[in-house]
């Protein structure tokens, strides 16, 4: 093709041929780089694979519930789901919208179920599964901010609380190895969430600080044996922080 191109234009000489070839190579590389960047920007993440069917089961169950407005809603993953919030807060009307295995993308996809209820207070706890999936921190923070913004836009009277992502401990590598040794990422993401709180109009609840041991890991006295979930003492600590904010 290059030879034919040169012939049509009466081009001769090695230098000219080399120049044209080099330009075409540079153009091809530029197109490849552009395609790579574009593809990277369109990457989508999902809830972790073992939880997909369970996620849909919970969503189906939520749709059968009556829409009751102006209540407290807890939104998040298994840490939220496993909390007996009605008992912990002494309020039988509390709505639990935790789904085990969920991540920030899953929460964004089901926000309509939240805003249609116009909650008085919304407690968001999400992010550890994103970190376990190696989703970049900037995307996690961006998604949590998007959750907050969408709630503000569609339920402007809702007071929003964002709970820190909790650390894990060494026991996590047995049952949830993908969450092992991620405390640096957790701490970095939490710092960003704390820094954005005032500007994005939400209250940051630093539960992570309360349940860490001296090594910065989830203290075994607050954790279940799996190294990632809270025990009853851990939930009591969490509920006490919440009561300090709402009472």
CATH classification of 49-246, choosing from 3.40.50.1110, 3.30.365.10, 3.10.180.10, 3.40.50.970? Answer: 3.40.50.1110
42-80 residues labelled b (16+ CB within 10 A) or e (exposed) = eeebebbeebeeebeebeeeeeeeeeeeeebbbbbbbbb
Q: CB 122: neighbour CB atoms within 10 A?
A: 25
Burial of 129 (C-beta count, 10 Å sphere; 0-12/13-18/19+):
buried
The domains of the chain are located at: 2-41, 49-246
Contact in structure between 155 and 206 (CB atoms under 8 Å)? no
pLDDT in tens, the chain (247 residues): 433 333 333 433 444 333 433 334 333 333 333 333 333 445 555 545 557 889 999 999 999 999 999 999 999 999 999 999 999 999 999 999 999 999 999 999 999 999 999 999 999 999 999 999 999 999 999 999 999 999 999 999 999 999 999 999 999 999 999 999 999 999 999 999 999 999 999 999 999 999 999 999 999 999 999 999 999 999 999 999 999 998 7
């Amino acid at each position: 093709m290059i030879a034919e191109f040169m012939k049509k234009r009466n081009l001769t000489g090695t230098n000219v041929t080399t120049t044209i070839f080099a330009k075409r190579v540079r153009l091809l590389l530029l197109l490849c780089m552009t395609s790579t960047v574009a593809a990277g920007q369109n990457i989508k993440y999902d809830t972790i694979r073992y939880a997909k069917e369970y996620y849909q089961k919970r969503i189906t169950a939520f749709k059968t519930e009556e829409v009751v407005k102006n209540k407290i809603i807890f939104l998040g993953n298994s840490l939220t789901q496993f909390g007996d919030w009605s008992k912990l807060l002494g309020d039988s009307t509390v709505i639990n919208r935790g789904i085990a295995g969920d991540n920030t993308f899953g929460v964004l996809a089901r926000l309509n179920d939240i805003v249609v209820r116009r909650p008085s207070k919304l407690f968001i706890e999400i992010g550890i599964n994103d970190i376990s999936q190696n989703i970049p921190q900037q995307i996690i923070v961006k998604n949590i901010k998007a959750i907050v913004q969408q709630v503000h836009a569609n339920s402007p009277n809702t007071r929003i609380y964002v709970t820190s992502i909790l650390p894990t401990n060494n026991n996590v590598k047995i049952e949830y190895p993908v969450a092992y040794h991620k405390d640096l990422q957790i701490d970095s993401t939490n710092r960003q969430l704390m820094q954005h709180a005032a500007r994005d109009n939400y209250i940051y609840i630093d539960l992570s600080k309360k349940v860490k041991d001296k090594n910065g890991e989830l203290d075994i006295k607050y954790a279940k044996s799996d190294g990632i979930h809270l025990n009853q003492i851990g939930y009591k600590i969490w509920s006490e922080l919440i009561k300090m904010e709402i009472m």
